[in-house]
A = this chain, B = another copy of it.
Amino acid sequence: MTDTKEKILMTALHLFAREGYEAVSVSMIAAELGITKGALYKHYKNKRDIFDSIVERMYRIDAQRSQEYEVPQEKYETRPESYESVSMDSIQNYTMSQFIFWTEDDFASHFRKMLTLEQYRNAEMAELYHNCIVSGPVWYMEDIFREMIKNGVLKEADPKQLAVEFYAPFYLLVNCSDLSKDKGQWMELLRSQIECFMQCHAAGHLRKD
């Protein structure tokens, strides 16, 4: 049954997210599932293979998600036309959805924690962590905001500074939510921050195309 393979992956992810990759033993994963560690090697060729499968799945999920939302999926250079008609509403909508995703989704929240614990181990992990969760989103928002300023949706400002101002509360509150069970208060705080941002930087008039 391929069901066991799935259980191994999720169990390992949960453990990796709490203890870190090295601190989790193969026996630990197996014991959590009530099987022996030998059985585990029928599904994955080694411990690293489990980790790699997790990362690979995250890539798949992420690609799928960015397709579902009407926001640009690629860098500005590759498809600048996709940045032309991004609305404030879709930004806000996508951001709140991403917050729930990174804090509450069983896979994504644990993946984020796991990556947090592996970020200093080598350059590959550092890059992955920063692209997904730290500086990656900042560059992304910078491109969007630059276009929004050009289109007159936002007031004149430094797009990079706007990007930091917009994304920083997201990043902080995601990490705040790790501590407490009640993630709702952080989400409401984020909503306030976004509304304040919009109110502060949105151009006063609407411009038709």
List residues of A whose CB falls within 8 A of some B CB.
17-23, 113, 116-117, 119-121, 126-127, 130, 134-135, 138, 158, 160-161, 164-165, 167-169, 171-173, 175-176, 178-179, 189, 192-193, 196, 200
Contact = CB atoms under 8 A, between A and B. Distances in A.
Interface of A is mostly: helix
A173 B178 contact: no
Indicate the member of A17, A113, A134, A168 with the most B CB atoms within 10 Å: A168
A196 B161 contact: yes
Nearest to A137: B172
B138 A176 contact: yes
B17 A120 contact: yes
A176 B117 contact: no
A17 B117 CA distance: 10
Nearest to A134: B175
Given A20-B22, A22-B23, A120-B17, A189 B169 contact: no
Contacts of A135: 176, 179
Given A168-B169, A168-B193, 13 more contacts: A113-B120, A116-B117, A116-B120, A117-B120, A126-B179, A130-B176, A134-B172, A135-B179, A161-B189, A161-B192, A161-B193, A161-B196, A171-B172
